[in-house]
Structure 1
Amino acid sequence: MTLKTFKVLDAINREGLDNTQWNIYMHLKPVNTGEFYGTNENRTLPAGVWIGVYKKRGDTLYYFCCLKPDLCLDIFEDEELLFYNVSD
């Protein structure tokens, strides 16, 4: 496990996020975010292991303040999906 993976999983645990507020997927080929995750924008994620964290716009996730997401996209009108590439 890389330090980045540990920090993201640790932040999820410390925030008390349940399995409706985050996910982890291993994509074996590039994935369209609009089709797979339902984001408002269609972006392509490269193959790899990705953790997605759902966040209401305006909410503060204190333990994520030092973790810059690799990608942040809107999902619905008031929610964001933060993507972290945790591939080794």
Structure 2
Amino acid sequence: MNNYAFEVIDAINREGISNEAWGLIEDIDDTKAYFGTLGKRSLEGKWAYIYEKKDGIYAYTCKIKPTMTMRLSEDAGGRDTKLAFYKLD
């Protein structure tokens, strides 16, 4: 495990983010179909993701720069939630 992957998982753990608000994925062909993002991206390799609320307080994960963030469609909660992705490998 590289240092960045460790820091991401450690920050998620310290943050106390519940299982329904984060996860691990591998080789996603279409983020729009999988997550309901506004744009369509493919994600190669291993990734962590966090659904972040607009007014949420993230004391630990805010210190780690995500590899990318994406907005969600209105149907997927996009008005007040964004999706942060962290490439782990």
**Structure 1: any 5+ residue segments left out of the alignment?**
none
1:60 aligns with 2:62: no
2:75 alignment counterpart: none
TM-score (norm 1): 0.86
| 1:51 Cα deviation after fit | 0.5
Q: In the TM superposition, what is the alpha-carbon distance from 1:40 to its structure 2 partner?
A: 1.8
Q: Unmatched 5+ residue regions in structure 2? A: 73-77
Percent pairwise identity: 35
Query: Which consecutive aligned stretches of 4+ in structure 1 deviate over 6 angstroms post-superposition?
Result: none
Q: Kindly indicate whether residue 19 of structure 2 is the aligned counterpart of residue 22 of structure 1.
A: no
Partner residue of 1:42? 40
Count, aligned residues: 84
Give, in whole Å, the separation in 2 of the partners of 1:77 and 1:40: 11
Alignment TM-score, normalising by the size of structure 2: 0.86
Once superposed, what is the RMSD of the aligned Cα atoms? 1.3
Partner of 2:3: 3
Larger relative helix fraction:
2
Partners in 2 of 1:43 and 1:25 — Cα distance?
A: 14
